[in-house]
Amino acid sequence: MEVGSRSHRKLVTELPAHNARSTPAIGTRQPPPQPLTYALASDTGSLFGGSGWPSLTRASAEVWAAGTLGANTSLAAAVEGALQPQEREQLAALCGRCLHQTITKSVEVRGIGHSVFVATGDIPDEWLRDGSVQLAVYLPRLAEHPVLRQLIEGAIRTQAYFILSDPWANSFRKDWAKPEALPKFDRQIGRGGWVATRNFEVDSGAYFLNLLWNYASTPGALWGAAAFLNDSLLHDAAALMVDTWTLEQRHEERSPYRYAELPREGRGAASNYTGMLWSGFRPSDDPNTYGYNIPVNMYAAGSLERLAALNELVWRDAALGAAARRLAADIRAGIDKFGVVPVPGDPGGARMYAYEVDGLGGVLASFDDPNIPSLLAMPLLGYPHYDPQLYAATRRRILSPANSHYFQGSQLRGCGSPHTPTNYVWSLAHCVQGLTSPDPVERADMFRQLLQMQGDNGLMHESNDVNDPRRLTRPLFQWANTMLVVYYEQTFGRSCSQAAEALRLKGVSEREARETLTPRNGGPDLPAYYDRLEQSIPHV
């Protein structure tokens, strides 16, 4: 068991089977918001959530914060044509089940939204990465459920505080823990206070910066978004992250970060300056082989470019803007110089992107991890500088047996991870493979496999056995549930909100049927009499 990471999620659970685009560059305008389908916001003249409110940035959010915006109608029709009617029905139901998992099962709201904790699922801690995506999927729904704005703002505020408490940590606990009350091993790996795991992962900070961008890029439901963003807490967290990353450009000489499970007295494998950001651990929480993870650095560079643009709109901190732009340029130069490598064994001299390098000649190629950022997810990372031809060559390599963790069995095939057992593939990678494919047949194939990966609770999980999808890890993995919603809505251009609401009302009806009480009007006992979704959001 790998202590200090999410290694306890490797536990394999036997469950019976359940019945079963690229992000535009900064400055491009979003298409107009899709009409909302019910509730207050369905009225075109409503004062809340009207389409007349542009976003603060007037630019595109990340794909997981876009809802149905940007969906390709011709592609949607082709994917639907490649699926059977019952498969389309099952997918709509699956999306409905996945949509409101986080806000009904995995958040804790303190007070009336000033502080919001977002757990990753069956592990009760918050990963900055997971939580940012889990929340982003609700940004396009603020007009449907206005209270969600307060929840998202509270969660952003909480993440900022966590970053200020330790910018090297990747996950945090909901309750503060006195360090001396913990066992020495926990203290030795940096646990204590708010910190749950102190695996330094560059993508964690990038997700926070992009969450700020996604909030600022939400049209139609954020009156005065700059007022919230112009909080010293948020500015200071962003500035501290830039400072921390600047240190980690020269990890060997300048970084104070040490981790007790890394070699060389906690410094990790040797590395040389490349301009990129050193990271101790991957988005999987597994240790890096080499210090510079290419897709993670792409994601960080994109987040820094967005931060510089956001800074011009909100804080107008000249030093912060200059530091973010310089760091983004350094990273880009490092990727171009060190991150492009020969395709192993290719006699024609083809080239591809490496997964990790060290600046000393060490290269990890022919590998990708299904956690995001990944090489497969490159078009989704907000990094407009990648080479599409190099990406195509890299994608072909990743989705083949040349990838040391590409697994194929009698039921499933796809990308696995050293973090989970051999021959287990991840739904996150299936969603990313679909989102980055223009081929309707490939997208339909991913959907069919995802239907097989539901387990007995009708949700997504961390990974599934390629020969027996009933065998899986992590029965409740909210990041995976969120990505299923993203993949569905971006493919079909249809919101899952109505399917989720229908399922919720069905659950209310089933709950109330267990008790008999005739309404005072003498009519049937209707679910409309009972609690709205908002009353199901856990407060403490």
The predicted-structure confidence for 394-421, as pLDDT tens digits, reads as follows: 999 999 999 999 999 999 999 999 999 9
Share above pLDDT 90 across residues of the chain, in percent, rounded to a whole number: 89
d(CA 229, CA 227): 6
Convert the pLDDT of each residue in 76-89 to its tens digit.
999 999 999 999 99
Contact 98, 459 (CB under 8 A): yes
Confidence of residue 46 (pLDDT cuts 50, 70, 90): confident
**Dihedral (CA of 460, 461, 462, 466) sign:** negative
Longest dimension (CA), the chain: 81
Q: Which residue has the tokens 């959907």?
A: 447
d(CA 298, CA 324): 14
d(CA 242, CA 325): 10
Does pLDDT of 19 surpass 50?
A: no
| Strand partners of residue 162 | none
Does pLDDT of 11 surpass 50?
A: no
Higher pLDDT, 484 or 345: 484
How many C-beta atoms lie closer than 10 Å to residue 117's C-beta?
24
Instruction: Report the pLDDT value the prediction gives residue 47, as an integer from 0 to 100.
Output: 78
Does pLDDT of 35 surpass 50?
A: no
d(CA 88, CA 318): 51
List the single range of 12-16, 119-123, 199-203, 317-321 with lowest mean pLDDT. 12-16
Within 8 A by CB and 6+ apart from 30, the residues are: 55, 58, 59, 60, 61, 69, 70, 217, 219
Instruction: Report the pLDDT value the prediction gives residue 45, as an integer from 0 to 100.
Output: 65
Confidence of residue 15 (pLDDT cuts 50, 70, 90): very low
Residue (of 171, 150, 146, 141) closest to 159 by Cα position: 171
Q: What share of the chain is helix, strand, coil (3-state, %, to 5)?
A: 45, 10, 45
Contact 21, 461 (CB under 8 A): no
Instruction: Report the pLDDT value the prediction gives residue 39, as an integer from 0 to 100.
Output: 42
| Strand partners of residue 293 | 356
For the chain, domain boundaries: 65-106+405-505, 203-401
d(CA 481, CA 470): 17
Confidence of residue 5 (pLDDT cuts 50, 70, 90): very low
Confidence of residue 33 (pLDDT cuts 50, 70, 90): very low
Higher pLDDT, 7 or 106: 106
Token reading at 280: 């101790």
Name the amino acid, one letter, at 20.
A
Instruction: Report the pLDDT value the prediction gives residue 27, as an integer from 0 to 100.
Output: 35
| Strand partners of residue 117 | 108
Within 8 A by CB and 6+ apart from 433, the residues are: 376, 399, 414, 415, 442, 446
Confidence of residue 48 (pLDDT cuts 50, 70, 90): confident
Name the amino acid, one letter, at 292.
Y
Helix H, strand E, coil C: the string for 434-459 is: HHCCCCHHHHHHHHHHHHHCCHHHCC
Instruction: Report the pLDDT value the prediction gives residue 52, as an integer from 0 to 100.
Output: 73
Instruction: Report the pLDDT value the prediction gives residue 51, as an integer from 0 to 100.
Output: 65
Convert the pLDDT of each residue in 307-361 to its tens digit.
999 999 999 999 999 999 999 999 999 999 999 999 999 999 999 999 999 999 9
Question: What mean pLDDT do residues 4-33 have?
Answer: 37
Q: Which residues of 261-295 are buried (b: 16+ CB within 10 A; e: fewer)?
A: bbeeeebbbebbebbbbbbbbbbbbbbbbbbbbbb
3-state secondary structure of 29: coil
**Dihedral (CA of 405, 406, 409, 412) sign:** positive
Crossing angle for the helix pair 85-99 and 497-512, to the nearest 10 degrees: 70
Confidence of residue 16 (pLDDT cuts 50, 70, 90): very low
| Strand partners of residue 193 | 177
Question: What mean pLDDT do residues 248-269 have?
Answer: 97
Does pLDDT of 160 surpass 50?
A: yes
Does pLDDT of 424 surpass 50?
A: yes
Conformational region of residue 266, where left means phi above 0, alpha means psi within -120 to 50, and beta covers everything else: left
d(CA 191, CA 166): 11
Contact 142, 150 (CB under 8 A): no
Within 8 A by CB and 6+ apart from 458, the residues are: 18, 93, 94, 97
List the single range of 29-43, 104-118, 422-436 with lowest mean pLDDT. 29-43
Within 8 A by CB and 6+ apart from 510, the residues are: none
Within 8 A by CB and 6+ apart from 304, the residues are: 209, 242, 324, 325, 327, 328, 331
Calculate the average pLDDT of the chain: 92
Instruction: Report the pLDDT value the prediction gives residue 234, as an integer from 0 to 100.
Output: 98
Q: Which residues of 449-482 are buried (b: 16+ CB within 10 A; e: fewer)?
A: bbbebbbeebbbbbbbbbeebbbbbbbbbbbbbb
Instruction: Report the pLDDT value the prediction gives residue 64, as an integer from 0 to 100.
Output: 98
Residue (of 495, 482, 370, 485) closest to 432 by Cα position: 370
Higher pLDDT, 519 or 39: 519
Instruction: Report the pLDDT value the prediction gives residue 113, as an integer from 0 to 100.
Output: 93
- What is the pTM (predicted TM-score) of this model? 0.92
Token reading at 6: 């999410």
Confidence of residue 38 (pLDDT cuts 50, 70, 90): very low
Instruction: Report the pLDDT value the prediction gives residue 44, as an integer from 0 to 100.
Output: 53
Q: How many residues does the chain have?
A: 540
Convert the pLDDT of each residue in 205-236 to its tens digit.
999 999 999 999 999 889 999 999 999 999 99
CATH fold group of domain 203-401: Glycosyltransferase (1.50.10)
